[in-house]
A and B are shown apart, each in its own frame.
With several copies, the nearest count.
Chain A
């Protein structure tokens, strides 16, 4: 039992830190945060990562991955998240973490050649078409239809919560190609060019006031049948096998550690009754409740990673990562709102009464509410644990 890094691992960590220090400038971060320069600047960042060979650490080396050990990937993710380079709402997630592995695992050679390089170079942005209006956590109830007519699938229906669809070049979709059997059957995995006629992207304004989500409609959208991944009607299997693929990092530990550190700093400068809020015992108790939970979560993640490094299947403890990860992230956002006090309500980036952090605090809080809903609500997560782990 030992949690120290090897000397080689420490060298690697320094290498990552050096990269960050050099390339992750305030100027770049600001341009990414600004809606008007977001896509261009984010692409710039991703190209820098790709130049370094770090765009897709988890991919097999033959497709451009790194071949890192589990520990190195952990170090990489930790450092990147700690610095704020990677975040939970990263646009590269859809290409690198979601569709990429489907393509290299279930796609044919032409598909691999056609799509993987452009994911790495960020010349093509992806978005995800899984959820549908009304489907919620019952993903398999999807109704968007794809009918084969000659060389093309004709797609009709709508997808919802398509994050960044308004920036995306491609969308990967689960579509229904057969409705005769169980709902999990008859689903196919299609790659669709967003420029195809008949696709309409309708913005959904979030409760944070921003536009990151969309509803994407498909009206007789003709998709070449070579864009089908694997076999027709087997898409559910491909999508599902992917859900376990990235579940090692769903806890967002580093992001929450970053959030906690910021919170402590803010509490030192916010004034309450003649002393900094950070010195107030009530506040200390509230924040330490969460800090302790986060310390536990961090080691739960390490336990999972250590098992993975030893080539073992993730144990029961991995099931709590998303659940507790989202609860802790939300709790931190909640306290940060309280620290901002009156200023947390301000819906205005410029008029901030000297509390410039407040607007971002509000956005993070509001946007963060969804973390206990997407990817299966926390209630669904508990159902799954009850069944899979406790044996009910």
Chain B
């Protein structure tokens, strides 16, 4: 029974912490968020130099061979700075799919470029009416003339505007909600028939709707077996749930800290507002929510890494808590900042926004609680 980090993990953590401290003060972040890409390619190169982009990849591909605990360590620290660079989209989602796909052609073609920071990726898995159900896929791929031809539309694709390559889920057989019949394809964002319409999310992320009109993909750019992609999609998203939960934890910790500091200084009625017992207790509730999140994060990370039978249940429990605690911490942080908390110029509201977005990502608290219940009370 041991919750300490390995020496390598501690070093990794320190290096991310230092990067955030040195580069991600709120004003710098604001400038980045307002830029066209919504992040810094320079920072991305730093990530590459520091080795962060290699974490989930096997050593055979030049990777670090890390597991969910390693990416958890990185993401918690990134969360503290509301870091905008598309680590999740390129490394964990796109990279994760490549790593787990067993498709040597695409692995050889792209993993090296990810690690050296020269390739951006994305994973397009949401559709207009899919909500949080991975197998609600209407986009279709048909095989003819030695290629697959893809037609359909994907929405809110994270990093969709900057991605060079995009993994798209498409149905090679079956109907909209079937679990079988889904395949994954790596497409080029500049391929004929790909229309990318990008926009911003409230947390500063640039995402895109992607319409696919007779887009051709060569058969060697399919990941895994035809029609059998759901399992690998779910696996990659399970790992990503740990990662975004860690990011949320970092954001919550920072939001709490900002709030505690603010209420110690901000005076009203002649005293620091932090001296009011009611506000203190509410910050204790925030603190408790943060502790609970960390406990469930460690629980889910350990059981996922150990391949436990309870791993999926632990994961949904975590995501429920991340959603609820994130709302609580985000909103209370804003409320305790009073009117200032509701302005764009203070950082606190931006933590609340990101926490809100993470709640939704891969399934919100309500959705995950239903999945949890199905596992717990079947």
Interface residues of A, Cβ cutoff 8 Å to B? 1-5, 71, 74, 131, 134-138, 141, 160-161, 204-207, 209, 213, 264, 270-274, 278-289, 291-293, 295-300, 302-303, 305-307, 309-310, 316-317, 320, 323-324, 334, 337-338, 341-348, 350-351, 353-355, 362, 366, 369-370, 372-374, 377-379, 382-383, 385-386, 389-392
Contact of A270 among B131, B155, B201, B366 (CB under 8 A): B131
Per-residue CB contact flags for chain B residues 191-208 toward chain A (1 = under 8 Å, else 0) read: 000000111111101000
B234 interface contact, C-beta 8 A: no
Given contacts A161-B339, A296-B292, A373-B338, contact A386 B201 (CB under 8 A): no
For the complex of A and B, 8 pairs with smallest distance between CB atoms: A299-B295, A351-B199, A386-B280, A296-B292, A207-B349, A348-B199, A205-B344, A353-B155
Chain B residues with CB below 8 A from A316, complex form: 287, 291
Offer 9 A-B interface pairs, CB within 8 angstroms, sorted by A: A160-B339, A272-B131, A272-B367, A284-B377, A295-B317, A316-B291, A344-B356, A354-B128, A377-B338
Asked whether A346 lies within 8 Å of B343 as measured between CB atoms, the reply is no
B364 interface contact, C-beta 8 A: yes
Nearest Cβ in chain B — how far from A301, in angstroms? 9
Asked whether B369 lies within 8 Å of A274 as measured between CB atoms, the reply is no
Chain A residues with CB below 8 A from B320, complex form: 288, 292
Nearest Cβ in chain A — how far from B104, in angstroms? 31
Asked whether B342 lies within 8 Å of A206 as measured between CB atoms, the reply is yes
Count of A-B contacts with CB under 8 A? 263
The residue among B274, B296, B314 with the most chain A CB atoms within 10 A of its own CB is: B296
Chain A residues with CB below 8 A from B350, complex form: 207
The residue among B277, B294, B342 with the most chain A CB atoms within 10 A of its own CB is: B342
Given contacts A278-B377, A299-B298, contact A1 B3 (CB under 8 A): yes
**CA–CA, A3 and B201, complex, Å:** 38
**CA–CA, A370 and B156, complex, Å:** 28
Asked whether B131 lies within 8 Å of A309 as measured between CB atoms, the reply is no
B231 interface contact, C-beta 8 A: no
What 5 additional pairs, Cβ within 8 angstroms, besides A270-B131, A390-B283?
A272-B367, A296-B317, A345-B360, A346-B200, A389-B284
Asked whether A377 lies within 8 Å of B3 as measured between CB atoms, the reply is no
**CA–CA, A343 and B128, complex, Å:** 9
**CA–CA, A362 and B202, complex, Å:** 9
Of residues 326 to 361 in B, which have CB atoms within 8 Å of A's CB atoms? 327, 331, 334-335, 338-339, 341-345, 349-350, 352-353, 356-357, 360-361
Minimum CB distance partner of B154 in chain A: A353
Asked whether A385 lies within 8 Å of B287 as measured between CB atoms, the reply is yes
- Secondary structure dominating the interface of A: helix
Asked whether B296 lies within 8 Å of A274 as measured between CB atoms, the reply is no
Of residues 282 to 305 in B, which have CB atoms within 8 Å of A's CB atoms? 283-284, 287-288, 291-296, 298-299, 301-303, 305
Chain A residues with CB below 8 A from B306, complex form: 2-4
Asked whether A296 lies within 8 Å of B345 as measured between CB atoms, the reply is no
**CA–CA, A334 and B298, complex, Å:** 28
Contact of A207 among B1, B284, B299, B344 (CB under 8 A): B344
Given contacts A207-B342, A309-B1, contact A296 B296 (CB under 8 A): yes
Asked whether A3 lies within 8 Å of B1 as measured between CB atoms, the reply is yes
Minimum CB distance partner of B200 in chain A: A347
Chain B residues with CB below 8 A from A288, complex form: 320, 369, 372-373, 376-377
Minimum CB distance partner of A374 in chain B: B339
Nearest Cβ in chain A — how far from B15, in angstroms? 18
Nearest Cβ in chain B — how far from A141, in angstroms? 8
Contact of B2 among A1, A74, A392 (CB under 8 A): A1
Chain B residues with CB below 8 A from A390, complex form: 260, 280, 283-284, 287
Asked whether A291 lies within 8 Å of B288 as measured between CB atoms, the reply is no
Chain B residues with CB below 8 A from A4, complex form: 306
Asked whether B269 lies within 8 Å of A342 as measured between CB atoms, the reply is no
**CA–CA, A1 and B300, complex, Å:** 11
Asked whether A306 lies within 8 Å of B3 as measured between CB atoms, the reply is yes
Chain A residues with CB below 8 A from B364, complex form: 338, 341
Of residues 222 to 278 in B, which have CB atoms within 8 Å of A's CB atoms? 260, 264, 266-269, 274-278
Asked whether B131 lies within 8 Å of A2 as measured between CB atoms, the reply is no
Nearest Cβ in chain A — how far from B317, in angstroms? 5
Asked whether A382 lies within 8 Å of B280 as measured between CB atoms, the reply is yes
Asked whether B202 lies within 8 Å of A209 as measured between CB atoms, the reply is yes
Chain A residues with CB below 8 A from B321, complex form: 292, 296
Nearest Cβ in chain B — how far from A130, in angstroms? 12
Contact of B335 among A213, A289, A372 (CB under 8 A): A372
Minimum CB distance partner of B285 in chain A: A382
B370 interface contact, C-beta 8 A: yes
Contact of B302 among A1, A270, A280, A383 (CB under 8 A): A1
Minimum CB distance partner of B156 in chain A: A342
**CA–CA, A299 and B302, complex, Å:** 11
Asked whether A285 lies within 8 Å of B369 as measured between CB atoms, the reply is yes
Asked whether A345 lies within 8 Å of B268 as measured between CB atoms, the reply is no
